[in-house]
Structure 1
Amino acid sequence: MHDGPAPTGHNNPPSPIDEITAAYEAEREEAENWLDGEPVENEAQMNEVDKLRKAMRQWRLDLERGQKSAAAPLHDAWKAELARWKPTIDDAQRIEKALVATVDSFKRKLAEEKRAAERAAWEAAEKARREAEEKAKAAAASDLEAQREADAAKQAAIDAEKAAQAAKRDQVKGLRTVTQYEIEDHQAALRDIVQHDREAVTAFIEDYVRRNHKARDMAGVRVWQEKAAY
């Protein structure tokens, strides 16, 4: 009978990672002994390294299978939860987009009307400002009525500018500026990219060649075969 406290980890199940790794411990340690930066020098050494590589590959495959087995239930639960929420989220987004489309044309029209009103307000403010300056210049200091008119014109200019500022702030909510584009000449666009962003073109060429060098012959690309360890 065990009377003392349970040892640490007594109730913990063994780790599948540790179990799989333990089966290859000897080969792993031997492989690390070989990996001192020196290449093999004879066929016997090559055969020994190949045997260790085969064992390490099998260790990796066993770990990957264990990983997939352990993660599958969690991944399936994650996918199921996403699927449970998705139809309602999609419907909410569908309604949202339909509402935006319903008011889009009117908001565009209203925004244009407000822009026209703002332009008119600034034009009126500029006209009032010029009139106020002209009256101020023309009014004699001793002409009371002319001074009153000049002050009134000055106040009218101030009021007109306030009205223009208010028109500027009066924007249609729910509109945003979207930058659109259209390629009118692909060759001209390519020349521009080559001139201003050659690195992007180089990256595209390298990626394209990597993916397609086996499919067909390409000008400027040399393709050859050679043996490589695996």
Structure 2
Amino acid sequence: MSTVVPLGHNNPPSPFDDAKASILSLEEEARHWLDGAEVSSQAEADAIAKLLDMARKAKKEADTARKKEAKPFDDGKKEIQTRYKPLLEQCDRIADVCKKANQPWLIKLEELRRREEAAARAKAEEEARKAREALEAARASDLAAREEAERQVQFAKDAERAARQASKQTASAKGGARAMTLRTVYRPEITNATEFARWCWQYEKQPLLDCLDAIAKRRVANKFRDMPGVVIHEDKVPV
């Protein structure tokens, strides 16, 4: 006698399919009870409470299935991350030490560059002054003086070009595809918190309010019930 093979024997539903079917069925049940109408009896309240319990259990079962299905991938990813993490961190440490080692030298180069730029700018201004004076002193009928004045103008132009070129130079160290340079960064230091808070109240009011709201919520969560400027509301919510 041949054995009757149950339907789906060769291709049983996956945990995801089971979870999906269960939750879709639960959603149909939820639509029946959660139609916007006000709860008017204990039976209805109990039915909705049961529905809540079913939703929690369905979520837990689906999440368990998700974790089980994802575990091989998570474990594989974790193993790869663990192997590469020390190598990447070592590269970061080497890069950080390289930057610290070259920082004093680059600062010296930058100071030298600024002195050279200042000298080039001073020379350009001096040549421009001489050119103006030469042009003012040269008579229209004095060819030699006029030629000298034109030469002085050219000197002034050359000096101005050199000053502009000096201003474009940067302190750097080149040893690869990307040169190491200095970058200007800015960091704040609050020296008067009260004055800064007043400024924030005027110009950054909403972020300040968000911060104060977060502080108030944290204090209330830690069972503080008395804070100046804060009203504590007591609400009842289902759990």
TM over 0.5: yes
The match for 2:187 among 180, 185, 189 is 180
Out of 190, 195, 203, the position equivalent to 1:196 is: 203
8 Å CA contact 1:194, 1:201 repeated in 2: yes
The separation in 2 between residues aligned to 1:170 and 1:21, in whole angstroms, is 65
Q: CA deviation at 1:211?
A: 1.8
> What stretches of structure 1 of length at least 5 have no aligned partner?
1-8
Q: CA deviation at 1:62?
A: 0.7
Q: 1:32 to 1:175 in 2, by over 3 A?
A: same
Aligned in 2, Cα 1:150/1:17: closer, same or farther, shift over 3 Å? same
Specify the SS of the correspondent of 1:213: helix
Pairwise CA RMSD of aligned residues? 2.2
Aligned to 2:133: 134
Seen in structure 2, the aligned counterparts of structure 1 residues 140 and 222 have a Cα distance that, compared at 3 Å, is closer
Q: TM-score, normalising length from structure 2?
A: 0.84
What is the match of residue 229 of structure 1? 238
CA distance in structure 1 between the partners assigned to 2:23 and 2:161 by the alignment: 82
1:15 to partner: Cα distance:
2.5
Alignment partner, residue 53 of structure 1: 52
* CA drift at 1:26: 4.8
Distance 1:11 1:113, change over 3 A: farther
Q: Give the paired residue count.
A: 222
**23-32 or 192-201, which deviates more:** 23-32
* Distance in 2 separating the partners of 1:221 and 1:181: 30
Q: Distance in 2 between matches of 1:127 and 1:197?
A: 48
Q: Structure 2 vs 1, CA of residues 13 and 122 (structure 1 numbering), >3 Å: closer, same or farther?
A: farther
CA contact (8 A) 1:128 1:153 kept: yes
Contact 1:121 1:164 (C-alpha < 8 Å) held by counterparts: yes
- Hey, what's the Cα distance between the residues in 1 that align with 2:100 and 2:188? 21
Q: How far apart are the structure 1 equivalents of 2:169 and 2:25?
A: 77
Shift of 1:227: 3.5
1:12-51 aligned at under 5 Å gives the runs 14-23=13-22, 26-51=25-50
Q: Kindly, what percent of the aligned residue pairs are identical?
A: 34
- The aligned residue for residue 165 of structure 1 is 164
Matched with 1:218 is 227
Q: Post-superposition shift, 1:226? A: 4.6
Q: What is the Cα deviation at residue 20 of structure 1? A: 2.8
* Matched position secondary structure for 2:182: coil
1:209 aligned residue (213, 216, 223): 216
Give the equivalent residue in structure 2 for 1:146: 145
1:132–1:157 Cα contact (<8 Å) kept: yes
The match for 2:4 is none
1:72-151 superposed matches below 5 A: 72-151=71-150
Deviations 1:141-193 (A, max 9, x none): 22232122112211111111111112112211311111122211111111111
Q: Is the 8 A contact 1:24 1:55 kept in 2?
A: no
The one-letter code sitting in structure 2 at the alignment partner of 1:97 is D
Measured after TM superposition, the shift of residue 118 of structure 1 is 0.7
- Tell me the residue number matched to 1:3: none
Counterparts of 1:139 and 1:26, CA distance in 2: 101
CA distance in 1, matches of 2:157, 2:235: 83
